[in-house]
Chain A
């Protein structure tokens, strides 16, 4: 099936379709060991950040591995741009970051990225350019020639993210992308992912960090025990339609007393009055930014969202100039629009 599945979903093309997906792990004697995923059906549109949320063992990683063709579904089907995930043509369009960054510890970041670039048939000069840009984007330039085995976990995750982007993929599949990162690096990675989605790339990620998912995902699916429990936009799932919050600038007690009295009189219930709170991440990032401004410390990570845009704008040119694999042809890939 070569035709791209064109289903309108908020004026967006559906690029990933999971239909009644089931994965059963069996033991040596073919007896059922674990039902990891059961009858999962999900659709993801182009340019969307889609989050799989769930506790450990809920089937998130298994779903992502089936999505990139590493595991085979027991039943059901997966379609990525109308193709099987196991075809090499599909893999040209995918970027994948596993749960554990399974990189060769004795290679340097530069060597590793160059190696993964070779697997996408990128010419040497193009690989060098992309590797340099990705190293800069992920803030690893100063350690690019050190063996990955000497990196901290957060740095390894950043190399992992860079390798997932080496082919400028249309669909980026990330398993716990911010695991092991400090809040600053985590924020930077989330900014990169958001920026990628804004440039028409589809990001599918799993996490059990609720704040991360809420922060960047357009839509989320909640899995538990291998089954889909809820799916929708963050707004749809989290907003209490029957409640309102009214935020006021500093008000005197008389005014507050009058407002609450009126509410009590009209509705017959006691309104909650409290001071709004920042979340801990915002507070932490503000502290670090202040310290950075005053102490001019080395700043690691993607310092400017512009770097992502620069990398992707080259990528857009490449799609027309590079001898990309035949997979690029006829997959409906050329109609990626830059955001306004």
Chain B
């Protein structure tokens, strides 16, 4: 542990040239320290902003974000077509969609934002500037986490509305939920029109998802007009907790992908990330005691996160389970970040083919 702390300390003060001489007063020392922290924070903010812009402006990212919202939006039609009681199925399928697209987004963002950046992209240029490796790495992790937050912001309201609408189209309050679907359709069309007029990339339509998301949030939070208000496992709060569970899994998956991407190429880190997902999902079901213990020690049991959508709404364990998942997720991601720092420490920044 002390090695890790030494490494982090070394990264923080990594040849920054800001080591504080012992001869100056304590007040001056704290002022210099505060100034250096403020400068590092500004660096992190600047790199985070550019990472986010760079990712959002790549066509694949808004496409993934948009696709999941559209797919979720059409899910309510499944029970209508099958004439059955597939409400649960729709809800779980929605969560699965969020998980699958979220993993794809995490792996892509980690690979592009870190590995490609270091070995093929602007990292070489960036790290020739006076920015510490720790600030660079922290900004990259934060950028991907913020991207995932945006992804969840787009997907969650669609998931909630879709899951509630699956109880029957007759119960859908089209006055409120209609604009969501209309917004999802209108957003890319409007973006294409703007791109045509301003000769810019269509990829920037990610920003235009915002009206659709806003309308979805309105739809979720406003009471129903004529339909029966949703109850039990279709209450907004309950569905939100289920989506948050998936969101936590995605944060951990992104942290795994980012840490691996500090050293490994995109295909290798993507494969190992999926392996970690499978290991975490199957850890609880493996009968061999030693192996199960080992897997659980390495990766969290993802079923604990997923199970949030299966706990009865009235269960007193719902809140505590969510809290435990939150803590576990934070600790796991933090440990991965420290591991990432260790791997990145003293790394040479250059194209792989020298």
Contact = CB atoms under 8 A, between A and B. Distances in A.
Q: Do A and B come from one complex?
A: yes
Interface of A: 25, 34, 36, 61-62, 65, 68-72, 83-84, 86-92, 94, 96, 98, 100, 102-104, 106-107, 111, 115-116, 118-121, 147, 160, 163, 325-327
A160 B271 CA distance: 35
Residue picked from B14, B120, B122, B351, most chain A C-beta under 10 Å: B122
The binding surface of chain A is classed by DSSP as mixed
24 contacts: A25-B354, A65-B124, A65-B350, A68-B128, A70-B124, A70-B350, A72-B348, A86-B14, A88-B131, A94-B128, A102-B122, A103-B125, A104-B50, A106-B58, A107-B50, A115-B49, A116-B129, A119-B43, A119-B129, A121-B42, A147-B201, A325-B17, A325-B130, A327-B130
B130 A98 contact: no
Contacts of B354: 25, 34, 36, 61-62
Contact of B17 (A25, A71, A90, A98): A90
Given A70-B349, A86-B15, A106 B122 contact: no
A118 B125 contact: no
B16 A104 contact: no
A329 to B, nearest CB: 10
A88 B122 contact: no
Interface residues of B, number: 38
A34 B120 CA distance: 20
Interface in B205-224: none
A303 B336 CA distance: 52
A85 to B, nearest CB: 9
Contacts, number: 104
B130 A326 contact: no
A111 to B, nearest CB: 8
Contacts of A61: 354
Contacts of B346: 72
Contacts of A111: 53
Contacts of A118: 42-43, 46
Interface of B: 14-18, 39, 42-43, 46-47, 49-50, 53-54, 57-58, 120-132, 200-201, 203, 346, 348-351, 354
A66 to B, nearest CB: 10
A144 B348 CA distance: 32
Given A70-B348, A91-B128, 5 more contacts: A25-B354, A87-B17, A98-B128, A102-B125, A116-B125
A118 B15 CA distance: 19
Contact of A104 (B14, B17, B54): B54
Nearest to B123: A102
B42 A91 contact: no
B42 A106 contact: no
B15 A71 contact: no
Contacts of B43: 118-119
